[in-house]
Amino acid sequence: MRLRGLLFLLVSSCLFAEGEQACHKVGGGISTNFVDAVDTLGSATGDLAGGLGVHVIGQEAGPNGSIVLTVHHHWVTVTGDTVSLDEAKATLFPTPVPGFYAAIYLDGVNVNGSGTGKLAGASGKIHAWGAVDLNKMELTLRYSGQICHNK
């Protein structure tokens, strides 16, 4: 009888452990260049170091002369894992320098669980801010956030 109870405890603790999540903070930098009017290609440093591309899906006028871009990301880490992100909105705020914008993801970017490798099933949110120079077709951002994985 005691053996059955012990086996039950062992099995049930394993089942509960599967559903637990381990979360950790991530951060780094992003540097990309526009390869055409709607696509960037570049690299990320830090915890999610690798290659990164952004495709602009749409554009609309925002408040106070800002531009709101709807974007889709393609992110592959140096170890070959993919970070799968929901579509997001990046807001570009004009500066006194023509063609130069402050950029921020006001609502962040959701990690949606469809990644691969170590990031398969991962969830979380990443925030980013930086600058865009449309004269030189360059973009640089700082990112930070949290990613959670099943244990």
Q: Assess if residue 98 is contained within a domain.
A: yes
Q: Assess if residue 135 is contained within a domain.
A: yes
In the chain, the number of structural domains is 1
The HSE-up count of residue 66 (CA atoms within 13 Å, CB side) is: 15
Q: Assess if residue 30 is contained within a domain.
A: yes
- What is the pLDDT tens value at each position of the chain, 151 positions in all? 444 443 333 334 444 445 578 999 999 999 999 999 999 999 999 999 999 999 999 999 999 999 999 999 999 999 999 999 999 999 999 999 999 999 999 999 999 999 999 999 999 999 999 999 999 999 999 999 999 987 6
Q: Which domain holds residue 114?
A: 21-150
pTM beyond 0.95: the answer is: no
d(CA 33, CA 115): 24
The whole-number pLDDT of residue 13 equals 40
